[in-house]
Amino acid sequence: MKVNVQAVNFNVDKKLIVYINERLSRLEKYYDKVVASDVFLKVEKTSEKENKIVEVKIHVPGDDFIVKKQCKTFEEAIELASESLERLLVKRKEKVRTHS
C-alpha cells in the first residue's frame, strides 16, 4: 500500500513518517484490497494541549474511508485513527463477503 504523508505548515520528522507507514501497513491484515492512503497532519493554533490533528483517508476499490482524530501527539492520533480504520475495514470485508 502506498502511504502519502502531508504536513500542513510544518516539516514532518522522519521517525514520524516511519511510524505512520508501519502503523498503516498493519491495516492490510484486515482488508487486503487497500490501494493507498493519504495522511494529513495539522497543528491547530489553540491554547489547548490536544492540538495535533491527523486525518487519514484510505482508498479501497469502490470506496474511501476518512478518519479524523485530534490528540496531544501525532503518534497517539495515528494509533486511534488506525484502530478506527481497522474496525471499518473489518466491517467492509464482512459486507463484501456476505454479498458475494
Tell me, what's the pLDDT at 16? 96
- The model's pTM is 0.91
Higher pLDDT pick, 46 / 32: 32
**Helix ranges restricted to H, 1-100:** 14-25, 74-99
Name the pairing type of β-strands 36-43 and 2-7. Answer: parallel
Q: Which domains does the chain have, with CATH numbers?
A: 2-99 (3.30.160.100)
Angle at 48 between CA 4 and CA 15, to 5 degrees: 30
**3-state DSSP: the chain helix, strand, coil percent, rounded to 5?**
40, 30, 25
Query: What letter represents residue 84's amino acid?
Result: S
| pLDDT surpassing 80 at residue 29 | yes
Which grid cell is 62? 469502490
99 — pLDDT class (breaks 50, 70, 90)? confident
Q: Per residue in 43-97, pLDDT tens?
A: 988 778 889 999 999 999 988 999 999 999 999 999 999 999 999 999 988 888 8
